Amino acid sequence: MKIVFTATEKGWDAKISKRFGRAEGFSEYDTENKELTWYSNQENKDSEHGVGIQAAQLVVSLNPDVVITGGNFGPKAQQLLSLPNIKLIDEAGEITVREAFQKFKKV
Amino acid sequence: MQVAIASGKGGTGKTTLSVNLSYYLAREFTRDGQKVLLADLDVEEPNSGIFLNGDVTHKEIKYRLVPKWDESLCTLCKRCANICQYNALAFIGISVVIFPELCHSCYLCSDFCPENALPMVRHRMGELIKYKINDSFDFVESRLDIGVEQATPLIKESKKFIEKSKNQYKTIILDSPPGTSCPVIEAVKDVDLVILVTEPTPFGLYDLKLAVDTMRELNKKFAVVINKYGIGNNDIDNYCKDNDIQIIGKIPHMQTAASLYSGGKILIDKIPEIQKEISTIANNLQNIIIKS
């Protein structure tokens, strides 16, 4: 299973980003090979238009099963992420990527 | 002549001036079948119509063109999503998703698609309604549909509509949107004169300066009307004097004006002081236009 977290920087101790489109980047955890991989969103996050759309394309291309963010996804990103049937978890709050993963495991 | 009523700041009195000036010009400056046209181009929130009663003489739905994805022709090359400057197309899995609200109708994706899989199709953005207020006064209102984000395309289409019948009118007044961005530039770009309405407050002055810079950048002839005159201080008078800007009218601040306005009434019928000032503005307008 692949889980993508919106994050303020790379690593397990980084805070979950409250924003999806304008997140600093995305941490992808693959439960099979137990690797956490960082994808920067630097190129998109300061665009004037359609950041949610750009970020959603990036995230969908990673082919995740779950995406977790601290706040809301935003309507356009949510629409796109829903197309490939990704499970979306929002309002995770101001916690670290590690804490978010532990919470997710319990659900 | 075509005159746009604009302002940097919102709420300074663009609509008050547009409606009362048009009404006055139609009554006093027309003869032998001459007519005045007022067009409300503040398409996001047109409100001139609140002050006018008339009969609908024409109505049309306005469209703009956006791409439509033809799945059967698409080879999923992603070129469209990569070149769109507004991120209005997204490539998700094996489909292209189009967001019409972000599309600026530039045709880039449509023209660059090697398979012609993105034909441009009509997309409704709002409507335009024309009214006859009286024998010498017509009114056009353009209104964006709820949820439509871009005002400029509808303003552009409305101006095309006005252009077609412009020879019928002695004077055309355009009630423009506030601010100094694309919708305002579209509204004022081909008029003979822009009247910048301001108010004697620090906000009024700050935004007037932005509006003046915009008009100078566009090389537009403009003049200033100070509304709510009497409140605040003389900073606007001084700014205009220092920068060689002509003030063509000062509409006094009056509580009766505010109450009549909130009841949707024309002010010049009820308040002689305001009628006098509107008449001064009308005369100044004629002089400026004759001189140029």
ipTM: 0.78
Please indicate if any CB of chain B lies within 8 Å of the CB of A84.
yes
pLDDT in single tens digits along all 107 residues of chain A: 999 999 999 999 999 999 999 999 999 999 999 999 999 999 888 888 889 999 999 999 999 999 999 999 999 999 999 988 899 999 999 899 999 999 998 87
**Residues in chain A closer than 8 A to B109 (CB atoms):** none
What was the pLDDT predicted at B257? 96
Q: How distant, in Å, are the alpha carbons of A49, B10, B23, B166, B217 from that of B180?
A: 19, 11, 26, 25, 11
Give mean pLDDT, residues B118-124: 96
Nearest to B64 by CA among B157, B130, B188, B142: B157
Does residue B10 contact residue B179 with C-beta atoms inside 8 Å? Answer: yes
Does residue B104 contact residue B150 with C-beta atoms inside 8 Å? Answer: yes
Q: Give ranges for CATH 3.30.70.20 in chain B.
A: 69-118
Residue contact A53–B95, C-beta within 8 A = no
Q: How distant, in Å, are the alpha carbons of B41, B125, B253 from that of B144?
A: 10, 6, 32
- pLDDT tens by residue, A54-65: 999 999 999 999
Residue contact A76–B91, C-beta within 8 A = no
Residue contact B90–A49, C-beta within 8 A = no
Q: How distant, in Å, are the alpha carbons of B93, B194, B214 from that of B7?
A: 47, 9, 11
Q: How distant, in Å, are the alpha carbons of B9, B58, B134, B219, B245 from that of B242?
A: 21, 46, 42, 19, 8
User: Chain B residue with minimal CA distance to A51?
Assistant: B87
Secondary structure (3-state) at B272: helix
Please indicate if any CB of chain A lies within 8 Å of the CB of B92.
yes
- pLDDT tens by residue, B229-283: 999 999 999 999 999 999 999 999 999 999 999 999 999 999 999 999 999 999 9
Transcribe chain A into DSSP letters: -EEEEEESSSSTTSBBPS-STT-SEEEEEETTTTEEEEEE-HHHHT-SS-HHHHHHHHHHHT--SEEE-SS---HHHHHHHHTTT-EEE----S-BHHHHHHHHHH-
Q: What is the 3-state secondary structure (H, E, C) of B34-93?
A: CCEEEEECCCCCCCHHHHCCCEEEEEEEEEEEEECCCCCCCCCCCHHHHHCCCCCEEEEC
* pLDDT-based confidence at residue B33 (cuts at 50, 70, 90): confident
Nearest to B7 by CA among B44, B45, B42: B42
Residue contact A50–B81, C-beta within 8 A = no
Would you state the structure tokens that stand for residue B118, as one six-digit string? Answer: 């993105």
Please indicate if any CB of chain A lies within 8 Å of the CB of B83.
no
Residue contact B99–A60, C-beta within 8 A = no
CATH 3.30.70.20 fits B69-118, yes or no: yes
Does residue A69 contact residue A17 with C-beta atoms inside 8 Å? Answer: yes
**Four-way CATH pick for B2-62+126-291: 2.60.40.420, 3.40.50.300, 1.10.10.10, 3.30.160.270:** 3.40.50.300
Domains and CATH numbers, chain A: 18-88 (3.30.420.130)
- pTM comes to 0.82
CA of A71 vs chain B CAs: smallest distance (Å): 22
Residue contact A80–B88, C-beta within 8 A = no
**Residues in chain A closer than 8 A to B81 (CB atoms):** 57
User: Chain A residue with minimal CA distance to B88?
Assistant: A50
Q: How much of chain B exceeds pLDDT 70, in percent?
A: 100
Q: b/e map of B125-161 (b: 16 or more CB within 10 Å)?
A: bbbbbbbebeebbbbbbbbbeeebebbbbbbbbbbeb
